[in-house]
Amino acid sequence: MNKYIYLLLLCVVSLGASAQEYVLSGKLIDSKSSEPIEMAGVRLMKSDSTYVDGMATSSSGAFSFNIKSPGKYILMYTSIGYYNKYTNVTLSKQKNVALGNIPMTINAIALQQATVTTNAAQVTVKEDTFVYNASAYRTPDGSTLEALVEKLPGAEVEDDGSIKLNGKTVSQILIDGKDFFKGDTKVAMKNLPVDLIDKIKSYDKQSDYTRQTGIDDGNEETVLDVGMKRELKSSWISNIDLAAGNKNRYANRVFISRFTNNSRISAVGNMNNVNDRGFRGGGPGYRGGASGLTASRSAGLDGFWNNGLKEDSAHYFQIGGNFRISHSSSDNLTRSNSETFLTSGNNSFANSMSQSYGKNNSMSAGLNLEWKPDSMTTLHLRSNYSHSSSDDSGNSQTATFNSDPYVWGDNPLDTMFWYNEPTAIPASFLAIATNRNNRLSLSDSKSDNVNGELNLTRRLGKKGRSISLRGRAGYTNSKSNSYSISDIYYYQRSSQTYNNQYTSAPSKSWNYSGQLSYSEPLWKDWYLQSSYEYEYNYSDRDRNLFQLDSLTSWGAGNTHPIGTLPDDNLLNLVRNMENSRYATYKDYVHDINVGIRYSTKDVNFHAGIRLQPQHTNLAYQKSSLDTVVTRDVFNIAPNLRLRYRFNQNTRLDFRYRGSSSQPSMTDLLDVTDDSNPLNITKGNPGLKPSWSNDFRLFFNTYQQKHQQSIFAHIGFNQTSNSISNAITYDEETGVRTTRPENINGNWNTNAFAGFNRAFGKDNAFNLHTGTNFSYANSVGYMRTSNVADSEKNTVKTLNLGERLRVAYRWDLFEFGINGSINYSKSRSELSSASNLETFRFAYGCNLQYTTPWNMGISTDIAMNSRRGYDDASMNTNELIWNAQISQTLFKKTTTLSIQFYDLLHRQSNISRTINAQMRRDTWSNAINSYFMVHLIYRLNIFGGSNGRMRGNGEGGFRGDRGGMRGGYGGGYGGGYGGRRM
C-alpha cells in the first residue's frame, strides 16, 4: 500500500515540476536612441539551430517566451535596417530569465537594399491602440500621408480633409507623439511623404489637463500618431515633388525635416491648382474630387526641442512652435433642386444656380512650452495667434414653383431666366411659377485672434493626489463688409422688388477664466476628482445695414456697380434702422465639476456631474427697441464612462453624456428681421432650454495569428425641447418666415462594424468588410400662410450600407476587387408624395505591380451608379478609370511618373441632404479628368557613426512599391468600421 502511495506522490511531484515553465523575456532597443524597436522578429532556437518558437516585439519592444524544457537556447533578433543579433541562453534552475534591454545597431548600408518579401500584418491592436504597419500598404511613388490613411481599414477621408477612423473623427496628427502643426491635420496629410513612415497609431489622447492632473475632463481627442522610421533619426530628409499637367494644372510640394531623439524641425511648402486632393483613385464610391476649383499656396515651419530628459523627470524642459501662411483662390459653381414639404400637400419646389469666386489669406503662429522644476510639478504654457482675410463675389439665380417643374421640362431654371421679361416665359411655367430672384453679392472680411493658456500642476505625494491651477484668456477682433443686389419678381402678384444693400458688421470679444482642480485618493483604486472654474466672456456684435436703393442713382437700372458707396452723409441718410442692430453680451459662468473614478488594470470607471450657474447680460438696440435683458440659468451635465478590458486585445467602452443648453439671447427677443425679403426671421420669448442624451458603445478585438480585427460602434442621441426653426411659407410669394420653436421627437441612432482578416498561404489574401446603419427621426414645424397653426412633420430616414474588399498581395504585386452599396429611404408623415428611396452602388478592381527594373504600374477601374433621384440627370452610371506609371532613376533618388485621372471623363459631383422640412440635391463643379507628370527628388543625409549617406527614396527603406491608391477612395457616407477604445 505504501508503495502505491509513494508512486502516486512521485507522479504528482513530477507533473508539478513539468508544469513549471521557464519564462524568457527581453526588450529590443535602438543602440543609439535607446528607443524600443517595435515589430522586430525574435526567433527561439535550440543550440543546434532547430526552430522552437517565434514572435514579433510589442510597441514597447518587449518579447516573452514560455519554455517547457531546460537547456541551451539561441535567440535571433531581426529588424529591417538593423544588423541581426544573437543571444545564447542556458535555462536551468532560474525559472524567470529577464535579459533586459538588448541594443541593436543600425545597418546603414542595408537601408539602401532593403526589400519587403513577406506580408506584414496590416493592423495590430496593442492595448487600446490600433497600430497600422505602413509597409503592408502599397501606395504610388511620391504619395503623401493622405494616400496611406485612405487605405487603412475603417478610414474615410472627406473632401474637406476631415478624417474618420473606425467611426471617430481624427482631430490631430502627431509625429512620434509630438504636435505637428497642431490643429491642422491637412498639413501632415498633404505634405508628409509616405516613404518616411514606419507605423501609424490611432488612439484617444487625453487632454493636457487630464494628463497632468489625472482628472478626466472628458476632452479626449482621437489622434493619428505617425511613427517615422528610426533610421532617419539624426538625419536631414527632403522630398521635392514638381508636377504639371494638361488644362494648365500644376502641383508642387516640398518637405524638409531633421529628426533627432530630442528635437525636430520641419518645413513644408505647397503650391497647386488641383484642390490639393493628391492622387486618389481606387475603388468604388462617390468621393470624387473636392467641389469647386481651388488654387492654393502655403508654407509652414514646425518644430520642438527638449533637453533629453524623460518627460516625467525633474528639470524636463520642452519648447515647440509652428508658423503657417497660406493663400487660396476659388471658383465654385453649383446647381441644385429642392423640395419643401408643406402641410397643404402641394409642396414647394425650387431650382438654383450660383457662381462664386473667393480669395482667402491666413497666417498663424503657435508656441508651446513645458517645464518640470521638480518631479512633482509641471508648468505648461500654450499660446496662439492667427490672422485671416477674405474677398468674395458671386451671382445666383433662383426660381420657386408651386408644383414639380420637371414635369414641363428638363431645365426649368434655364427656361425661367432665358427671357429678360419675367412674364415672357412659356405658359406652362407661368402657371406654376412663384418667384424668381437674380442676385449679385460682394463681401470682404478680416479677423485677428490671440489666446493663451497657463497650467500649473503639483502632485502631492500620495498616488492620485494632485492640485492644479489653470488660467486662460483670449481676444478676437473682426470686421466684415457685404454688398448685395437682388431683383425679385413675384408671379402670383405680378410685382417686382429691387433690393440694393450694404452691411457693415464689426465685432470684438474677449474672455478670461481661472480654474482650480483637486484630485484625492479615497481608498484602493478609487479617486475623487473636483474642479471649480470662473469664466467671463464679453462680446460686441453690431450690424449696420444701409438701403442703397433708396437713393435714385443706386436704384433699379443704376449706373453704380456693386461695391461702390455714396459719401458718408448720404450713406447715413439711408441707414435701415429697422434692421440695424447693436448688441453687447456679458457672460458670467461658474463651472463646478465633481466626479469619482475607479481604475485598475482591466476596469476604468468614471461618473461625474457638471454644474454650471450662468448669468448673462445683453444690451440690445434695434429700431425703437432699446433694452437690457438679463438671464440666470443653471446647466447640468452628468457623464458616465466604463472601459473594460477582457484581455490584452479585446476591449469594451461605454459612454453617456447628458447636457442642457439654452437658447441664444437674441432668439428670446420679440423682434423681426426682414432685411432679406424672401427669408424673414422672428424671435421667440417663450423658448425653453433643451436637454440631450448621448449614448456610445464601442468594441474591438484582435487576433494576432490571422491578423484578424473586429470593431463595432453603436450610438444613440435624443433631444427634448430641441430648438427648431418653424417655417411659415407664403404660397403666393414664396416668402419663408422662420421662428425658433421648441419641439420634441428628434432622435437618431447609428451603428457600424468592421471586420478585417488575412488568410491563405503566408497571409497573402486580405478580407475587409464594413457595415453601417443609421436611422433618424427628424421633426419640424411647417405651415402655409393661410393656415392658423403650424403642423408637426416627422421625416424618418433609414440608411444602410455595406462595403467589401478582397485583396491579394505578395512582394511587389497586389490585386484587389471591391464593392459598396448604400440604400437610403425617407418617409414624411405629412406628405407621402415627398417619400424618397435611393440607391448608390459601386464595384471595381485595382492592380499594382513593380517590374524588376523598378517601374511601377498601377490602375483601378470602378463603376459608380445612382438610382432614385427625381432629376433624371442624377441617375447615372459612371465608369471611373485611373492609372499611373512611374520609374525610379539615379539610384532611387528620383522618380518620374505620369498619372491619369478619370480617363473616360465620367465623374460628377452630386450630393443629397434631407430633414423634416425639405430635401435638396446638389451638383457642383470639380477637377475630375486630367493627367499630371511628376518629377520627385529625394535627398536624405544620414548622420551618426556610419557617416553621411545620400540616399534613396521610395524603394530605399521599404522596398519598391508600385501601385496607386486603390480600395477605399470612395464609398457611402455616414462612416463605417469600429472604434479603438
Separation between Cα atoms, residue 644 and residue 700, nearest integer Å = 11
- Checking if the pLDDT of 963 tops 60, the result is no
Q: Note the pLDDT of residue 261.
A: 82
| 51-56: strand order across its sheet | 51-56, 41-46, 71-78, 85-91
Q: Note the pLDDT of residue 286.
A: 40
- Residue 85, domain extent: 20-105
Q: Per the structure block, which three cell numbers stand in for 410?
A: 428638363
CATH code for position 666: 2.40.170
Q: Per the structure block, which three cell numbers stand in for 894?
A: 528620383
CATH code for position 52: 2.60.40.10
Separation between Cα atoms, residue 667 and residue 741, nearest integer Å = 10
Helix (H, G, I), strand (E, B) or coil at 142: coil
Is residue 163 domain-resident?
no
- Mean pLDDT computed over 835-853: 89
The whole-model pTM stands at 0.78
Is residue 906 domain-resident?
yes
Q: What rounded mean pLDDT belongs to the chain? A: 84
Pairing relationship of beta strands 746-759 and 690-703 according to DSSP bridges: unpaired
- Beta carbons of 178 and 794 less than 8 angstroms apart: no
Is residue 753 domain-resident?
yes
Give kind and range of the element (H or E) at residue 433. Answer: strand 433-459
Q: Is 812 exposed, middle or buried (0-12, 13-18, 19+ CB in 10 A)?
A: buried
Separation between Cα atoms, residue 67 and residue 342, nearest integer Å = 75
* Predicted confidence (pLDDT) per residue in 458-467, tens digit: 988 777 788 9
Is residue 825 domain-resident?
yes
Q: Is 76 or 220 the better-scoring residue by pLDDT?
A: 76
Distance of CA 668 to the CA centre of its chain: 34
- Mean pLDDT computed over 523-532: 91
Q: Note the pLDDT of residue 915.
A: 72
- Asked whether the CA dihedral 189, 194, 197, 201 is positive or negative, the reply is positive
Give kind and range of the element (H or E) at residue 717. Answer: strand 708-720
* Predicted confidence (pLDDT) per residue in 619-669, tens digit: 999 988 999 999 999 999 999 999 998 887 888 999 999 999 889 998 999
With CA atoms as reference, report the closest residue to 101 among 198, 23, 35, 22. 35
- Beta carbons of 863 and 879 less than 8 angstroms apart: yes
Q: Which of 284-293, 445-454, 719-728, 792-801 has the lowest mean pLDDT?
A: 284-293
End of a domain among 66, 87, 105? 105
Pairing relationship of beta strands 581-599 and 466-490 according to DSSP bridges: unpaired
Separation between Cα atoms, residue 758 and residue 771, nearest integer Å = 18
Is residue 684 domain-resident?
yes
Rg, C-alpha atoms of the chain: 32
Separation between Cα atoms, residue 57 and residue 26, nearest integer Å = 9
Separation between Cα atoms, residue 867 and residue 876, nearest integer Å = 7
- Beta carbons of 635 and 661 less than 8 angstroms apart: yes
- Mean pLDDT computed over 760-772: 88
Is residue 245 domain-resident?
no
Separation between Cα atoms, residue 359 and residue 356, nearest integer Å = 10
Q: Note the pLDDT of residue 58.
A: 78
Q: Note the pLDDT of residue 500.
A: 94
**What is residue 733's DSSP assignment?**
T
Give kind and range of the element (H or E) at residue 427. Answer: helix 427-432
Q: Note the pLDDT of residue 290.
A: 61
Residue 458, number of CB atoms within 10 A of its CB: 17
- Mean pLDDT computed over 233-260: 89
Separation between Cα atoms, residue 187 and residue 364, nearest integer Å = 13
* Predicted confidence (pLDDT) per residue in 916-950, tens digit: 677 888 888 888 889 999 999 988 775 544 434 44
Q: Which amino acid does the sequence have at 539?
A: S
Q: For 913-953, give the secondary structure using H, E and C.
A: EECCCEEEEEEECECCCEEEEEEEEEEEEECCCCCCCEECC
Is residue 8 domain-resident?
no
Q: Is 266 or 48 the better-scoring residue by pLDDT?
A: 266
- Checking if the pLDDT of 132 tops 90, the result is no
- Give the C-alpha distances (Å, rounded to integers) separating 663 from 32, 441, 616, 691, 742: 59, 31, 12, 11, 10
Helix (H, G, I), strand (E, B) or coil at 224: strand
Best-predicted range by mean pLDDT (459-468, 608-617, 810-819, 904-913):
608-617
- Mean pLDDT computed over 57-80: 85
- Checking if the pLDDT of 283 tops 80, the result is no
* Predicted confidence (pLDDT) per residue in 383-419, tens digit: 999 999 999 999 999 999 988 888 887 788 888 898 8
pLDDT band at 16 (very low <50, low <70, confident <90, very high): very low
- Beta carbons of 322 and 187 less than 8 angstroms apart: no
Say how many domains are in the chain: 2
Q: Is 916 exposed, middle or buried (0-12, 13-18, 19+ CB in 10 A)?
A: buried
Separation between Cα atoms, residue 649 and residue 978, nearest integer Å = 14
- Asked whether the CA dihedral 12, 14, 19, 23 is positive or negative, the reply is positive
Q: Which amino acid does the sequence have at 243?
A: A
- Checking if the pLDDT of 955 tops 60, the result is no
- Beta carbons of 528 and 520 less than 8 angstroms apart: yes
* Predicted confidence (pLDDT) per residue in 317-331, tens digit: 999 999 999 999 999
* Predicted confidence (pLDDT) per residue in 17-64, tens digit: 444 578 889 999 988 778 888 878 888 888 877 778 878 787 778 888
- Give the C-alpha distances (Å, rounded to integers) separating 181 from 271, 277, 385, 470: 18, 19, 13, 23
Separation between Cα atoms, residue 411 and residue 434, nearest integer Å = 17
Residue in this structure with the C-alpha cell 456693386, named with its chain if needed: 562
Separation between Cα atoms, residue 390 and residue 329, nearest integer Å = 10
CB proximity list for 57: less than 8 A, separation 6 or greater: 27, 28, 36, 37, 38, 39, 40, 42, 63
- Checking if the pLDDT of 13 tops 60, the result is no
Q: Note the pLDDT of residue 320.
A: 95
Q: Note the pLDDT of residue 159.
A: 64
- Mean pLDDT computed over 881-893: 89
pLDDT band at 704 (very low <50, low <70, confident <90, very high): confident
- Mean pLDDT computed over 955-981: 33
Q: Note the pLDDT of residue 333.
A: 94
Separation between Cα atoms, residue 13 and residue 154, nearest integer Å = 52
Q: Is 448 or 48 the better-scoring residue by pLDDT?
A: 448
Is residue 112 domain-resident?
no
